[in-house]
């Protein structure tokens, strides 16, 4: 039964991805940016539902700002996009992934090469430019995924973009649980796991609940990036404690 359910979900996911590819190729070029953002938001929310994930949101989506979140799964991107569509910062290797790289390149993803200060500087400038244009930008300052048991140390370099653009930082806490509201590791994309293995684990699960908690914005006036990064890390870690309440499903 589990494998049948997973196969059905993945078949629907494939059709949804194909529909999304057609939308990006044929509709995006003739749409205003606001319409593209709405299409991306609806597509992401539908993808999450197809995979059997119940999305719940706590907090009110803010205006323009730099979204920073803890990182557990590739699914994190679509959870955030389902609530606050944004331009995500991604490692440059993603650009070469079949189909996913094409999707990312054509939906305002900001790619960053690793291990280069000049590349990080260019990425920071690109992020600041997007923010000045009134677009939300999202990044995962941990720089990698974790099981969600804790929040790894934040890299502060790209948070400078919020200071440069004079916009707030929007901390977002992400947590996954099962139907009993115990922490779920099903979505974790860690270690030597590849994308298809992670996707299969999600599709096999009877129910995954995902909570996106949008925390109060952090002003950037008078702060340097390291203090800003430390503050964002602290508030996200605090709100991932065991007492975090679950709101009603979206």
pLDDT digits (tens, 9 = 90+) for 59-111: 888 778 999 999 999 999 999 999 999 999 998 888 887 778 888 888 889 99
Per-residue tokens: 154:
């934040």
| Residue found by looking up tokens 């939906």 in the block | 107
Average pLDDT, rounded, for the chain: 90
DSSP tag of 221 = T
Q: What is the mean pLDDT of the segment spanning 172-179?
A: 93
Taking residue 21's Cβ as centre, other Cβ atoms within 10 Å add up to 14
Domains annotated on the chain, with CATH: 2-239 (3.40.1130)
Flag whether pLDDT at 114 surpasses 80.
no
- The 10s digit of each residue's pLDDT in 6-38 is 999 999 999 999 999 999 999 999 999 999 999
% of residues, the chain, pLDDT over 70 = 96
């Amino acid at each position: 039964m589990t494998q049948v359910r997973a196969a059905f979900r993945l078949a629907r996911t494939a059709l949804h991805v194909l529909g999304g590819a057609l939308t990006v190729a044929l509709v995006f070029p003739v749409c205003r940016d606001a319409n593209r953002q709405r299409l991306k938001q609806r597509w992401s929310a539908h993808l999450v539902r197809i995979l059997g994930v119940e999305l719940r949101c706590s907090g009110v989506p803010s205006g323009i700002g730099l979204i920073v979140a803890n990182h557990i799964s590739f699914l994190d991107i679509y959870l955030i996009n389902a609530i606050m569509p944004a331009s995500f910062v991604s490692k440059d290797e993603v650009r070469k992934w079949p189909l996913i790289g094409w999707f990312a390149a054509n939906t305002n993803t900001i790619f960053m090469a690793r291990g280069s200060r000049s590349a990080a500087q260019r990425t920071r400038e690109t992020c600041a430019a997007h923010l000045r244009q009134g677009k939300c930008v999202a990044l995962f300052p941990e720089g990698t995924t974790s099981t969600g048991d804790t929040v790894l140390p934040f890299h502060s370099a790209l948070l400078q973009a919020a200071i440069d653009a004079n916009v707030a930082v929007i901390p977002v806490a992400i947590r996954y649980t099962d139907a009993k509201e115990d922490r779920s590791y099903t979505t974790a994309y860690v270690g030597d796991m590849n994308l298809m293995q992670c996707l299969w684990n999600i599709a096999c699960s009877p129910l995954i609940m995902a909570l996106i908690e949008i925390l109060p914005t952090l002003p950037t006036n008078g702060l340097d990036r390291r203090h800003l990064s430390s503050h964002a890390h602290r508030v996200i870690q605090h709100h991932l404690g065991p007492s975090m309440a679950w709101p009603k499903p979206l």
